[in-house]
Structure 1
Amino acid sequence: MIENYNLFLLVCGIAFLFGAVFPIIFKPLPLSLPMLQVTFGIVIGYLWLSLSFLDPMEHGIIIEKLTEIVVLVSLVGAGIKIDTPLSWRLWRPTVRLLLITMPIGIFAMAVLGYYAFGLTIGAAILLGAVLAPTDPVLASSIQVGPPNTGGEDAPRFTLTSEAGLNDGLAFPFVYLAIKIAEAYNEGQGFSGELLWSWFTHDVLWKIGAGLIVGIVVGKALAKVVFSRHTRETTISQGYVVIALTLLAYGLAEYIHSYGFIAVFIAAFAFRRSEHEHSYHEKLHDFAEQSEGLLMSLVLVAFGILIGQGLQSGVELTWRVYIVSFAFLLLIRPLGGIIALTGLNLPRTEKYAISALGIRGIGTLYYLSYALNHGFFGEEDALKLWVVCSIVILASIFMHGLSAPKLLKMTANKPRS
């Protein structure tokens, strides 16, 4: 990659240009920006034969850290943009997606991974865990608009809040997969003690502590920004966004809780403080532009990875395609419909929420994070990368084409 560094910068510059001119040139077309950038990356990866091969097995740490930053910025943006107050009636669809739809997706994909691909138990659970959460980065185009811009319809709000929370709530299952793989590597196997340790520490403690850290950081930073001493002073939104992100994430990870949960909750708690203040709009604009730039870089790199894989002849069996589309077209939609059954929502809104479970950069982060622990075999790791890459690629194009039509069906129905 170093020998092609300048050309790679040129490729990234073109990708950023796509983002700049997309609303002007490409908006009338049935295309999304992620579709355009990934396609560009695939073409570059397939035709640029002198480019160093982006091997995810060898560059797992780089993938983990880069995607981690993108997801963090996206979580802050999602938390800041939500106008809907914390109300059980309004948040009930989100809670159901988190507690019903996500476990259904994890279980179904774990079973398919075990029987269709011959994955070990730990790797099968990992497959379900990394694919279950809706991606907060690629789902930004179907989320609510900037702060204080009017009523939020149910589909956009539910998808925004789901994407903000389920990235952190998928982590317990990622850790379960890691612990099971570690136990089998050490010849111990699955045990009740392992399950109890996982439930008390990785579920109860880490989720609870992440929530508390998020609330404390969000409220504390809001007191500083909106205090009477600083009200007349312009505080750089860039500093605040970065401080909010790193304080919440760093503190949560320091006490061994879930940083993703803490970051989203911190952003939402900050947003509820002086929630009508115009400063939130400035924060959102900075977070959105930062997220867009980072997303462009990751999507082009992901496209290059896919293109190089096609060029090198990576084997894609019929099982990969069937399982990938089964997940996107059957498992997630059916899981969503089951979760939303009984709620007072129009049928079109239930279907839109259920169908638009976009998979993306969050999946790349979780997968690289888990594999970097070194407890999964090379054969399992390769299968996981192949399946997850195809699911993400299919999701980018399938949801990119269908999202505008689905959301148009539910338009002009603000939440009361």
Structure 2
Amino acid sequence: MSLAEWALFVGGLMVTMVLAGTLLGRLPLSSAMVYLALGWVLGPDVMNVLRPDPFLHARLLETIAEIALLISLFAVGMQLGVPLRDRRWLLPARLAIGSMALLVGMVTAVGVWLLHLPLGAAILLGAIVAPTDPVLASGVRSEPGARPDRMGFSLAGEGGLNDGTAFPFVMLGLGLLGLGELGPGLMRWWGISLLWATLGGVAIGALLGTGAGRLVVLLRSRHGQAVGLDEFLGLGLIGMAYGLAQICLASGFLAVFAAGLALQRVRERPQAPRAEQEDTPRQARDMQDTVQAFNEQLEKVAELALVLMLGAMLSYAPLPAAGWWFVPLLLLVLRPLSVLAAVPGEGLSRPQRTMIAWFGIRGIGSVFYLLFALRHGIAPRIAETLVSLTLWTVATSIIVHGITAQPLMDRYILWRRRAGRRR
């Protein structure tokens, strides 16, 4: 297609999604389901317009997926108004660390015993399909503010954290396949890939987000400087947090997510002198609202690009026989089991446990780590298995979770209202 034809197609698609947005809200469909179907139609199986071959173009596709993931993590971080020291983060942390580690272990066992994969490849498969997606879970995403619904907040927090906490398991799998350095006795993996990457990423992002936000608010409230270009602030923080974290061998994903969280909290930490404190929160709110609105629009564009690409990539991933049982096993059995093992003692009701266990939506993070693994040169037979199982897991998740999101959320909201009246 020529540039003019692409412009016509993409522009028409965007306008159509705006016009059909209300209709989609009334149907058991999500925008991601529409993009997925269009991507498949544009792919080699039908129109042969999009040809995102993951085996030939892994590096380019990985870069696109990484950019989209960074945008989504920053946008989600800015929607969560709970400080990191708050106890409400305990449940998302348990889901993103404990539950995900258990899921990686169960998928590893399935990979070794039933799929007959080498141990490293089985761990790699588990790490790729374990992260949940905060963008595609927008139908059940937490509402903004300091007092969000616990179910929605936990899912959004889990999705923001586990794209970073999956990285050590990916590196472990690659290392066991001889494609990465683990160090003597796994010391490099424990010290750098696991502990430092996780803690360092959060620390770097939190410091940059807090520092940049406070500096902008201080300059505006006391000196009338640094006014405007709030959109640049969001993009700049994404670039700075990711770049500095990667240079320091920390997790760029956790850094960007933490930067979004920290910038969102600046509004409640006025730094101006007492006489100007009334004006400072307004300056912070204006900055935060502009950055958040801009990043939410970027997030929607990123979702469009990535899910279109995913739909076209399905042509390069014929569904293997194992896919007919692996995908249902992962979504219907292993994900719920991993969640139920992580939530005891959190005081969740049965509807909350059920919703969290079901809505483990797979998406951009899984696609990114798949392409990351392919770029490292894994063996062709293993690569074909990983590509097929991962892409069909994500596609199935988009469809089944997209269909069930609105009906289940309607029931959940009804339950919350009844519970509120009883209290």
The TM-score normalised by the length of structure 2 is 0.88
| Residue 292 (str. 1) matches residue 300 (str. 2) | yes
Query: Once the 2 structures are TM-superposed, how far is the Cα of residue 15 of structure 1 from its aligned partner?
Result: 3.4
Aligned pair partner of 2:159 in 153, 158, 163:
163
Aligned to 2:73: 75
- Deviation, 1:23, is 2.3
8 Å CA contact retained: 2:142, 2:148: yes
Partner of 1:53: 51
Q: Which amino acid aligns with 1:163?
A: G
Give runs of aligned pairs for residues 9-408 of structure 1, distance below 5 A.
9-45=7-43, 48-51=46-49, 53-145=51-143, 147-148=144-145, 151-182=147-178, 193-229=184-220, 232=224, 234-275=227-268, 277-306=285-314, 308-309=315-316, 315-374=318-377, 376-408=378-410
Q: Distance in 1 between matches of 2:50 and 2:17?
A: 25
Once residues 192 and 99 of structure 2 are traced to their aligned partners in structure 1, the CA distance between those partners, rounded to angstroms, is 23
Shift of the 191–305 alpha-carbon distance from structure 1 to 2, 3 Å rule, reads closer
CA distance, structure 2, for counterparts of residue 216 and residue 87 of structure 1 = 14
In the TM superposition, what is the alpha-carbon distance from 1:76 to its structure 2 partner? Answer: 0.6
Q: Confirm or deny: 8 A CA contact 2:35 2:304 kept in the other structure.
A: yes
Structure 2: which amino acid aligns with 1:78?
V
| Rounded Cα–Cα distance in structure 1 between residues aligned with 2:34 and 2:50 | 23
* Alpha carbons of structure 1 residues 250 and 192: separation in structure 2 relative to 1, 3 Å: closer
1:317 and 1:391, CA in 2 relative to 1: closer, same or farther beyond 3 A? same
Q: Which residues of structure 2 form unaligned runs of 5+?
A: 269-280
In the alignment, the residues of structure 2 paired with residue 21 and residue 241 of structure 1 have an alpha-carbon distance, to the nearest angstrom, of 28
Moved more, 190-199 or 352-361: 190-199
Cα deviation for residue 333 of structure 1 reads 1.3
SS in 2 for 1:339: coil
Answer whether contact 2:183 2:189 (CA < 8 A) is retained.
no
Q: Distance in 2 between matches of 1:12 and 1:123?
A: 38
Q: How many residues align?
A: 400
Task: Name the CA distance, whole Å, in 2 between partners of 1:129 and 1:260.
Answer: 15
On the 8 A contact 1:336/1:355 being kept in 2, the answer is no
Q: Which amino acid aligns with 2:297?
A: Q
**1:224 alignment partner, SS class:** helix
Greater shift, 341-350 or 88-97, is seen at 88-97
What letter corresponds to residue 152 of structure 1 in structure 2? P
SS of the aligned residue for 2:385 comes to helix
- Which region of structure 1 is more displaced relative to structure 2, 345-354 or 385-394? 345-354
RCO comparison, higher one (Cα < 8 Å, 6+): 1
Kept in 1, the 8 Å contact 2:69–2:365? The answer is: yes
Range that drifts further, 122-131 or 22-31: 22-31
- Contact 1:136/1:362 (8 A) holds in 2: no
Question: Judging changes above 3 Å, is the alpha-carbon distance between structure 1 residues 6 and 117 closer, same or farther for their aligned structure 2 residues?
Answer: farther
1:227 is paired with a residue whose SS is: helix
CA–CA distance in structure 2, aligned partners of residues 65 and 198 of structure 1: 24
Check whether the contact 2:96–2:159 (CA below 8 A) recurs between aligned residues. Answer: no
Rounded to whole Å, the distance in 1 between the matches of 2:45 and 2:396 is 21
Whole-angstrom CA distance in 2 between matches of 1:183 and 1:265: 29
Helix, strand or coil at the partner of 1:72: helix
Residues 94 and 158 in structure 1, CA contact (< 8 A), matched pair in contact too? yes
| Range that drifts further, 386-395 or 220-229 | 220-229
Give how far 1:238 is off.
Answer: 1.1
1:187 corresponding residue in structure 2: none
Question: Separation in 2 of the partners of 1:243 and 1:52?
Answer: 31
CA–CA distance in 2 between the matches of 1:329 and 1:240?
41
Cα distance in structure 1, aligned partners of 2:125 and 2:256 = 24
Structure 1 runs not aligned, ≥5 long: 185-189
**Deviation, structure 1 residue 87:** 4.5
CA distance in 2, matches of 1:245, 1:322: 39
Q: How much does 1:194 deviate? A: 4.5
Aligned sequence identity (%): 31
Q: In structure 1, the residue corresponding to 2:395 is in which secondary structure?
A: helix
The 10-residue stretch of structure 1 (267-276 or 338-347) with the greater mean CA deviation from structure 2: 267-276
Amino acid at match of 2:259: A
Task: Give 1:161 shift.
Answer: 0.8
C-alpha distance in structure 1 between counterparts of 2:20 and 2:99, whole Å: 33
- Compare 31-40 and 3-12 and name the one that shifted more: 3-12
The 1:44–1:183 alpha-carbon spacing in structure 2 relative to 1, beyond 3 Å, is: closer
Quote the offset at 1:321 in angstroms: 1.8
For residues 201 and 124 of structure 1, what CA distance do their matches in structure 2 show? Answer: 22
Deviations 1:139-160 (A, max 9, x none): 2332123x44x74111110011
Cα distance in 2 for partners of 1:316, 1:66 equals 24
- CA deviations on 1:325-367 (whole Å, 9 max, x unpaired) are 1101111112112211222121101111111010011111111
Following superposition, the deviation at residue 372 of structure 1 comes to 0.6
